[in-house]
């Protein structure tokens, strides 16, 4: 029997590409999204598709039960669904922060709790949680999003220790900025945030985040992230954490090698020499505002 993977957030971007890569690799793929109509192309490629809103415990339990009933196994869970609620901490209302955590943190918590009994029973499985470089380098204007990704990272590290010895691996995939339509929704989510006058420059840059999808130096692709997910799923001994994209790998190296006082200047200089690209102004601004990279 072929290995079986359940992937959340497959309507576009990394999730959709990951589903295709798993299909090409011979996996049985269950591709999910809040809107099942957006999964038609994956249906046609041979994926099993289902509506899955990760904020609904009923949805999560229904889909995981379907996978187990139909396949008798669940070998890999990829928690990819998420969105970015940007804005200054002072301006983002609590209900928006709560919604951010419900998708990015509590959503994976729901799917993990539903999947683990089957993985423990079969004595094997891999859980892959897609976080972000901001879990290591939170920047001004990303408090809610960075906080949610940091929370998922910490939970993943604890979970890895808890399931050690049960044949289950827990992996963090940590991309840098990815050229997808993710940033279109970032702009949409800013509409309901009270744009305080104290952060005018910050909002000007956040409005430009949608240009990241055009790509450029320092910006990675959904294909690169999806391939990393597939490689981790295929590995008998996956790494605990995979950083994806040149700027993510550089950031990790800088964090490991340099004292805190030198990290921001070195990273800012790297952005300056990266050349012209749609996301360059965004990155320059992040580094200019951030004086406590840790």
- Give the DSSP H/E element, type plus range, for residue 53: none
Torsion angle (degrees, nearest 10) of CA 36, 37, 41, 42 = 10
Closest among 45, 34, 23, 42 to 81, alpha carbons compared: 34
88 close to 199: Cβ distance less than 8 angstroms: yes
Interior/surface letters 121-130, b for 16+ CB within 10 angstroms, e for the rest? eeebbbbbbb
Closest among 217, 201, 212 to 288, alpha carbons compared: 201
> Crossing angle of helices 13-24/222-234, nearest 10°?
50
Half-sphere exposure of 288 (CA within 13 A, CB side): 11
Spatial neighbors of 244 by CB under 8 A, at least 6 apart, are 173, 174, 175, 176, 220, 224, 225, 228
- Give the DSSP H/E element, type plus range, for residue 77: strand 76-79
Catalytic residue among 30, 101, 145, 203: 145
Q: State both tokens at 293.
A: 């990279």
- Greatest alpha-carbon pair distance for the chain in Å reads 59
How far apart are the C-alpha atoms of 105 and 98, rounded to whole Å?
10
86 close to 144: Cβ distance less than 8 angstroms: yes
Catalytic residue check, 145: yes
DSSP characters for 80-95? -------B-TTTS-HH
Helix/strand/coil for 241: strand
Q: Catalytic residue numbers?
A: 145
């Amino acid at each position: 029997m072929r290995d079986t993977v359940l992937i959340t957030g497959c309507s576009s971007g990394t999730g959709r590409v990951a589903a295709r890569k798993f299909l090409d690799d011979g996996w049985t793929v269950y591709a999910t999204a809040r809107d099942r109509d957006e999964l038609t192309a994956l249906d046609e490629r041979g994926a099993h598709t289902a509506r899955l809103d990760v904020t609904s415990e009923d949805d999560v339990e229904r889909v995981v039960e379907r996978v187990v009933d139909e396949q008798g196994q669940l070998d890999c869970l990829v928690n990819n669904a998420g969105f970015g609620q940007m804005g200054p901490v002072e301006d983002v209302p609590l209900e928006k922060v709560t919604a951010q955590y419900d998708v990015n943190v509590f959503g994976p918590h729901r799917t993990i709790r539903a999947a683990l009994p089957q993985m423990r029973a079969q004595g094997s499985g891999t859980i892959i949680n897609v976080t972000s470089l901001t879990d290591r380098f939170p920047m001004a204007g990303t408090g809610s999003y960075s906080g949610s990704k940091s929370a998922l990272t910490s939970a993943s590290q604890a979970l890895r220790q808890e399931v050690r010895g049960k044949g289950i691996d827990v992996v963090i995939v940590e991309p840098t900025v990815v050229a997808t339509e993710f940033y279109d929704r970032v702009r949409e989510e800013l509409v309901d945030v009270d744009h305080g006058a104290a952060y005018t420059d910050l909002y000007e840059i956040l409005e430009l985040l949608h240009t990241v999808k055009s790509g450029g130096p320092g910006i990675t692709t959904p294909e690169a992230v999806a391939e990393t997910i597939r490689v981790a799923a295929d590995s008998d001994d996956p790494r605990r954490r995979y950083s994806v994209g040149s700027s993510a790998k550089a950031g990790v190296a800088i964090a490991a090698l340099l004292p805190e006082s030198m990290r921001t200047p070195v990273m800012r200089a790297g952005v300056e020499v990266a050349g012209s690209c749609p996301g360059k102004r965004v990155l320059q601004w992040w580094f200019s505002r951030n004086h406590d990279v840790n």
